[in-house]
Chains A and B, each alone.
Chain A
Amino acid sequence: MITIENLSKRYGDNTVVDDVSMQIEKNSITVIVGTSGSGKSTLLRMINRLVEPSAGRVLLEGRDTRSEPAHLLRRRIGYAIQGHGLFPHRTVAENIATVPRLLGWAPERVKARVEELLHVFQLDPAKYSAAFPHELSGGQQQRVGVARALAAEPQVLLMDEPFGALDPIIRAKAQEDLLDIQRRFGTTVVLVTHDMDEAFHLGDRVAVMSGGRLLQYDEPAQLLTHPADPFVSRMTGLGDRALRLLSLTSAAAVALPGAAPGPKLQASASLREALSEMLWSGSQSCEVIGIEGGAPAHLTVDAILEHARPG
């Protein structure tokens, strides 16, 4: 758990992070969103002390992060950035091994961990271990950057617009990978983005920042149904908030028992996707497949619309 208490950062007269307090739960993904220059990166970088706070403090598992030298703290916290920052003179394997080596792991353990991560990130070790970063595609470089951040099994992973430089298809894939990996390793992820879709898709909780202040820190649905500030509504988008809300609920969560005519839909799909399928096929219902237990299930347009407004 990360506890942020009254954290501020000032550069001269310019307060770029203003008295921010928040609790970040273990094993969750917290997304910090806000317009450019709102202080997101500064807030994130104060967690691993790449930026030293002007006031306030950060506790990691109840322990003040200032109780040890900054570089030792950072070895316990994963950090992945936009543009990956891979070391160009080191191979993929050496890049991934950076923190384990700093921590003095035995060579066999380092090697095993590097291979494990290459597999997790779908990079064939035989092909990519000895490759240099410039020989990889953008998506692969980004994966190696995240693998490097996770190498020493950190409990906390900080990510600053990690997918910002990727094209939409690779970006979507990277987001799915992150969700998988977060579940697999149980890492506590704090991710900065200015992309609201990304925030809604990834975040268990979303923190909205503006002008250095934390406007709202809540579950995504709450941001839509109970915005704390007009700016939050503007950020989340008024025009398609009903559809956004639908995108937060899975078909499995609200499926009705029994079979029904219409297109087939995976249980993991969102209500937004379900509605879109029904509109597309001109059907009033759809069949939900892959429900746990295998029982027949369905959704109707009316049932979906129930979930498209605050209530």
Chain B
Amino acid sequence: MMRTATLLRLLALALLVSFLIVPQKFAPVFAPLTQYGAPPIYDQGNLLGLAIAHLGTVLLAAALSTVVAVGLGILVTRPAGREFLPLSRTLVNIGQTFPPVAVLAVTVPLVGFGEKPTLIALFAYGLLPIFENTIVALQTTPKAVMEAANGMGMSAGQRLVSVELPLAMPLILEGIRLSLVINVGTATIGSTVAAKGLGEVIIAGLLSNNTAFVLQGGLVTALMAVLLYDAMVGLERRVCRAVQVE
């Protein structure tokens, strides 16, 4: 069972890498989807470059979301910051419910076209799962463990760093995973404001009525999401083992 799963994952990775490096080799596969002799493989830019730019934007946005969401989660679970919990929750929820496209529309006039509005949209969209998981994790540290940490004479900071955060890590990582996977797909909208990314391929396909392009953009994005998901699950398993949480 385990074997098959690993094998499938390796196959997906091999497929993704080879398609990005030598896309022309896949031309016969996509040819039936094109009409009137249109090119079967995206030819308006370097697919590998677009994929890397896409992934870079997503990872950077996730890093920003993580720093802010975990920081905020820590703040509102401290006695001094507890009163900010409702406000923070509202803000983070707005980040999730406000459609990323609308965020783009609002931010472009402020920061111009390109990467920046996309980063902002993804950052806001990815906060919620990380924030909520951080809070749940920090609020559910076993009572006896907290009591022991205090009773041993840890300062609040020492308790946070050496007990609360390590025990919260599996859930926080799960939040980051959800955020990442959602944003790999969402990032395609960045291309509407001229951010480099796989959305370009899809938009080019839509504009020239070329189903093959749309499919290529979609497939590469989906494969990246699946592989990222798996990589994060692997990481979470290792952390869980280190944290000894069954």
Chain A residues near B (Cβ < 8 Å): 48, 50, 71-76, 79, 81-89, 98-99, 102, 132-134, 145, 148, 158
Contact = CB atoms under 8 A, between A and B. Distances in A.
A105 to B, nearest CB: 13
Contacts of B147: 50, 81, 85
B148 A75 contact: no
B245 interface: yes
A270 to B, nearest CB: 34
B244 A134 contact: yes
B148 A85 contact: yes
Interface of B: 142, 144-155, 158, 163, 166-167, 242-246
Nearest to A72: B153
Contact of B163 (A87, A133, A145, A158): A87
21 contacts: A48-B151, A71-B154, A79-B148, A79-B152, A81-B147, A81-B148, A82-B144, A85-B142, A85-B145, A86-B148, A87-B149, A88-B167, A88-B245, A89-B242, A89-B245, A98-B154, A102-B153, A102-B154, A133-B244, A145-B148, A148-B148
A163 to B, nearest CB: 15
Contacts of A82: 144
Given A71-B154, A71-B155, A75-B153, 17 more contacts: A48-B151, A50-B147, A50-B150, A74-B150, A74-B151, A79-B148, A81-B144, A81-B147, A81-B151, A85-B144, A85-B147, A87-B163, A88-B167, A88-B243, A88-B244, A89-B243, A158-B151
Contacts of B145: 85-88
B148 A71 contact: no
Contact of B166 (A72, A89, A99, A148): A89
Contacts of B158: 102
Given A81-B148, A89-B167, A73 B245 contact: no
